[in-house]
Structures are given as structure tokens and as C-alpha cells.
């Protein structure tokens, strides 16, 4: 592995300061490169690398990789490896399938609450996603103040999302347990109530679906404000695909090699931290022409396998992918009419536990209002019929 190219500088220091710049420098050195972090790591981003790492769950395990660094993802199906992962996933899959989620659409739409006037997209999106997750997961039965307190650390820069908060987690678990004891009909809590560790699965689903979706929603609004021709409901799937390509929330993914292997022709020793980067894959000009441009039309022919990883890929594809897409479509739909304009902001991606805009995104939205009916002419109304 020492023969692999590496970006310049002190890698661990650069990782803590600006990991995206470190990754870009590594990608410029080659399609597979090494990093000297707190343990040896190797990064690849081409489709053959993604297929090998994400397709072999026996060799490349989630345990003791980056996802375990945050307590928000250290439970449930996200933290499980094979064979336990397979059983958990099979039990949860039917309830998070696209068709199973369609009945939630009206409930989600009722809590979106579009703005009227100037608004900051990140703050508005965070509130809208919290309300939609409460509606879908808990049937609006969870205390909004507790949800905000539990999820707010995910809005903060590192290391806030990595710090343990046992008291807050106990409060959240108790609230979820209360919902599971009498789950509202039609909620995802009702669907999973009989499954093992249902409370942990719902807590992880809540955390995993929050900042990822909120940041994507904010970016989508920013780009729709600058490209009004894409503000049509039938075009939202392509817009969503392109936003997820430009700004994959999971900008880095990780596995730990439990045995020596060869990946895309590169020997990988046992114990190596094996990284893949959807951000590098999605910005690779060999896979995506004009990779930095907002071009939703590029998805007219579908999504290419192993070159498009906004929700990872393979058997560990994000369980909440369909729920995230549904929330995005429902939240963006009101903005297809009315007047949406960008005022100021910095949409450049910045790395935290997920990818987020570097700065606030200030927009203005004026919904289209129905014109009042013209009042009847009182003289005409008073005239006798002819």
C-alpha cells in the first residue's frame, strides 16, 4: 500500500481542517490513494472500486469504521454487519419501500408549511424535515421540542455530532417507547412496533434522515431559484437526482477490511480502513461530463450503476432512500409555483458529519395567490331582465 500515491501534507491535520480539499488532492494523484490518518486508510472512487468494496459485505465490514464514531448511528441496522444485518434489513425493507410510503404523502404535505417572504433555506428546511419525520415515523406524536433538542447537534460543526449525550438519548428513547406502546395507525412506528429493537431502529432512522435531507432540500431550493425552468412538479425527480449527485450527504463512506484482499488491482491488508467517496465519484469528469454544473437533464437515461451513490449502493443501500426522496418531492412541490429568488448565500459544500452548504442561503418566496373574483356590478345586478 505504500506504493500508492498520496496527497501532500500532514493528512490527519488536513482531515480535521478541510477533508474535502484533502480528498480532491488525493484524487488528483490517482484513482486510488492512501491516507495517513489515525490508522492507515486507502481511498478509491471509480466504479470498479465502489463495486468491490460495497458488494463484498463479508470482507468489508461496517464495525470499527467511521460510522461508529457518532452515537447517532451506532445502533440498529446501520451498525449491524452480516449475518445480523441481513435479517434486520429483510424485516425493515417492506415498510420503507416506495409503495409502502406513498400513503404518507398527504400527511407530509400537511406539515411542510412553505414560507412567505424572505427565509434562510437551511433553517426552514431543518424545521420542515423535522415535522415530516415526526409525521412519518411517529404520527406527529413526538414532542417537537424534544425532537429539536435531539437533532440540533447534527446541525453543529464537528465534534458536536460525535459527542455522547446519554441523558438526551434516554429521553428520546423513552419518548419513542411511549409512541410504540400505542403507535398511531399508519405511522412507521406502527409498522415496526413488533420488530426487535424497534425503538433503536426508529431513533437511527430519525437521525439518519434529518440533516441529510434538510441540507439536500436547502440546496435544491437554491438551484431552483437560479434555474426557474426546472420548477415543474414533473421535473422534480431529475432535479433531486442532480442535487444528490452534486452534494451527496454521505460525502465519505467507510469499511474495515477484515482480511487481506485485492480491490481494483490494489492489495489491501487486513485491518485497513477502506474508504469510498460519493463526492469524488460524482465529481469525476470521466464519469460525469461537466461534473460541477447543475444539469438535471443528464438523468434522462437513468442512473448509472456504481457511479451514482447518494444513498450508498448494494445490499447496504440506505434504508431511508425512498422516504428521503418522498420528503424532498413533497417539500419542493409548493415552490413549483409562485416567485422564488435567491438573495445571498454560499452554496459551496463543506464537510461535517454530512455534507452541508458552507454558508447561509437566503431566499425569498412569494406564493401565487388566487386573484379575487371581480365584484359584480351593482348597477347591472339591479337592472331588470330584458
Binding residues for heme: 318
Nearest Cα neighbor of 216 from 370, 361, 41 is 361
**Pair 274, 66: CB distance under 8 Å:** no
**Pair 280, 244: CB distance under 8 Å:** no
Grid coordinates given for 226? 437560479
> How is residue 137 annotated by DSSP?
H
78 exposed, middle or buried (CB, 10 Å; 0-12, 13-18, 19+)?
buried
CB count, 10 Å around CB of 77?
23
Backbone phi and psi for residue 282, each to the nearest 5 degrees, phi listed first: -75, -20
CA 324 to chain centre: 7
3 state DSSP class of 84: helix
Rounded to whole angstroms, the Cα distance separating 307 from 236 reads 21
Residue 127's region, left for phi above 0, alpha for psi from -120 to 50, else beta, is alpha
Rounded to whole angstroms, the Cα distance separating 236 from 223 reads 12
What is Dmax (Cα atoms) for the chain?
99
CA 140 to each of CA 111, 134, 234, 242: distance values in angstroms, whole numbers, following the listed order:
10, 5, 29, 31
DSSP letter string over 2-67? Answer: TTS---SS-HHHHHHH-HHHHHHHHHHH-SEEEEESSSEEEEE-SHHHHHHHHH-TTTEESTTSGG
| Binding site feature residues | 318
Rg over alpha carbons for the chain, rounded to the nearest Å, is 23
Amino acid at each position: 500500500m505504500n506504493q500508492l500515491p498520496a496527497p501532500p501534507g500532514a493528512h490527519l491535520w488536513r482531515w480535521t481542517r478541510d477533508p474535502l480539499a484533502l480528498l480532491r488532492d488525493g484524487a488528483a494523484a490517482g484513482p486510488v490513494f492512501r491516507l495517513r490518518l489515525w490508522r492507515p486508510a486507502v481511498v478509491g472512487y471509480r466504479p470498479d472500486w465502489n463495486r468491490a468494496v460495497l458488494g463484498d459485505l463479508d470482507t468489508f465490514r461496517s464495525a470499527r469504521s467511521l460510522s461508529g464514531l457518532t452515537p447517532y448511528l451506532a445502533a440498529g441496522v446501520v451498525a449491524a454487519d452480516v449475518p445480523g444485518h441481513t435479517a434486520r434489513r429483510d424485516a425493515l425493507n417492506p415498510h420503507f419501500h416506495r409503495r409502502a410510503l406513498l400513503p404518507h404523502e398527504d400527511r407530509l404535505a400537511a406539515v411542510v408549511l412553505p414560507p412567505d417572504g424572505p427565509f434562510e433555506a437551511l433553517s426552514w428546511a431543518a424545521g420542515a424535515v423535522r415535522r415530516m419525520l415526526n409525521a412519518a415515523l411517529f404520527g406527529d406524536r413526538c414532542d417537537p421540542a424534544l425532537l429539536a433538542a435531539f437533532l440540533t447537534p447534527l446541525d453543529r460543526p464537528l465534534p458536536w455530532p460525535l459527542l455522547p449525550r446519554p441523558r438526551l438519548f434516554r429521553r428520546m428513547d423513552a419518548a419513542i417507547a411511549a409512541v410504540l406502546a400505542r403507535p398511531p395507525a399508519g405511522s412507521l412506528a406502527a409498522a415496526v412496533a413488533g420488530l426487535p429493537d424497534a425503538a433503536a431502529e426508529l431513533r437511527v432512522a430519525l437521525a439518519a434522515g434529518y440533516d441529510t435531507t434538510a441540507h439536500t432540500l436547502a440546496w435544491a431550493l437554491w438551484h431552483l431559484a437560479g434555474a426557474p425552468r426546472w420548477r415543474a412538479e414533473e421535473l422534480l425527480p431529475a432535479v433531486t437526482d442532480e442535487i444528490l449527485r452534486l452534494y451527496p450527504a454521505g460525502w465519505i463512506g467507510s469499511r474495515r477490511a477484515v482480511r487481506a484482499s485485492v480491490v481494483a488491482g490494489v492489495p489491501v491488508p487486513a485491518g485497513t480502513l477502506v474508504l469510498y467517496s460519493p463526492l469524488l465519484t460524482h465529481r469525476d469528469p470521466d464519469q460525469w461530463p461537466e461534473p460541477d454544473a447543475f444539469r438535471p437533464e443528464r438523468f434522462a437515461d437513468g442512473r448509472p450503476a456504481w457511479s451514482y451513490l447518494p444513498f450508498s449502493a448494494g445490499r447496504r443501500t440506505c434504508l431511508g432512500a425512498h422516504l428521503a426522496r418522498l420528503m424532498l418531492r413533497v417539500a419542493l412541490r409548493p415552490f413549483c409555483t409562485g416567485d422564488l429568488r435567491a438573495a445571498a448565500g454560499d452554496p459551496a459544500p463543506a464537510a461535517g458529519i454530512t455534507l452541508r452548504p458552507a454558508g447561509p442561503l437566503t431566499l425569498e418566496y412569494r406564493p401565487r395567490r388566487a386573484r379575487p373574483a371581480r365584484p359584480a356590478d351593482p348597477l347591472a345586478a339591479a337592472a331588470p331582465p330584458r
